[in-house]
Every structure is written in structure tokens, then in C-alpha cells.
């Protein structure tokens, strides 16, 4: 049996997490959800995701801080990250890419745009 690729969705808006999770499950992916960077940091070693979808503005630990944590650990630094956020100003895009995000999508985005990146990256 082929193991499903696992995607960790990190966003403080439960509705966004659930909609993304449902869409991704329909496409054959396993999903996990965290509602801030601190939760994601606690989960990452246990669930070992193949890709992370990450928001920027979240309580407790924001996306940029979590991305710095992720990319500074040899166990996690190769996990691809899609920043999916309303923070689409050029300085935020530049910061996300500088910190190691593989792709930066502004909200709202189409599922097709997100899926194109996911399919190229982990399938």
C-alpha cells in the first residue's frame, strides 16, 4: 500500500484549516492542523509532514518565527513550505522567501494555484 503524503496546515483560522484539509484529503493527501506556530513546533517531530502550508499572522508564534525554527533544524529544514497569507506586501514576500519558504501565495488563492505547487513538490 502506498503511504499518503502528509501536509501540515498551520493557520489560526479554523475555517481555513478545515476547508484546506477537506480539499487536500479529496486529492488523496493526509492532513494535520495546527492553529499557531507553537502548536506546529510541538507536532512537527511526531507527524513528519511532507509539506507545510503556513500562515504569517498567528498568536503565540507567527509564521515567520516558525519558519526560522523549521529551517534552523537539520531534521526539518528540507520540508517544503508554502506561505499562504493575507500578508502579500513585497517586504513580507521577500522575508518569507529569505527565511526559506519555497512558495508564497496571497490569500485568497485558488486551490488550483496551491495544488500546482504541491503536485510539483511532493508527488
Could you say which DSSP state residue 75 is in?
A: T
> What is residue 17's predicted lDDT score, i.e. its pLDDT?
93
pLDDT score of 99 = 92
Q: What is the mean pLDDT of residues 55-70?
A: 93
List the chain domain ranges. 6-122
For residue 45, the SS3 value is helix
Is a pLDDT exceeding 80 seen at residue 123? Answer: no
- Whether 6 shows a pLDDT value over 90: the answer reads yes
**pLDDT for position 38:** 95
| pTM of the shown model | 0.92
Q: Which three cell numbers stand for residue 86?
A: 493575507
Question: Which CATH number is 6-122 given?
Answer: 3.40.50.2300
**At 2, is the pLDDT very low, low, confident or very high (cuts 50, 70, 90)?**
low
Distance between CA atoms of residues 37 and 59, nearest Å: 8
Amino acid at each position: 500500500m502506498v503511504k499518503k503524503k502528509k501536509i501540515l496546515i498551520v493557520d489560526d483560522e479554523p475555517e481555513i484549516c478545515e476547508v484546506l484539509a477537506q480539499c487536500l484529503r479529496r486529492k488523496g493527501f493526509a492532513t494535520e492542523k495546527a492553529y499557531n506556530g507553537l502548536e506546529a513546533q510541538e507536532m512537527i517531530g511526531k507527524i513528519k509532514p511532507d509539506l507545510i502550508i503556513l500562515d504569517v499572522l498567528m498568536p503565540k508564534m507567527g509564521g515567520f518565527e516558525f519558519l526560522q525554527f523549521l529551517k534552523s533544524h537539520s531534521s526539518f529544514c528540507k520540508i517544503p513550505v508554502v506561505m499562504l497569507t493575507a500578508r502579500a506586501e513585497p517586504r513580507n514576500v521577500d522575508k518569507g522567501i529569505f527565511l526559506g519558504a519555497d512558495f508564497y501565495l496571497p490569500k485568497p488563492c485558488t486551490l488550483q494555484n496551491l495544488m500546482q505547487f504541491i503536485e510539483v513538490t511532493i508527488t
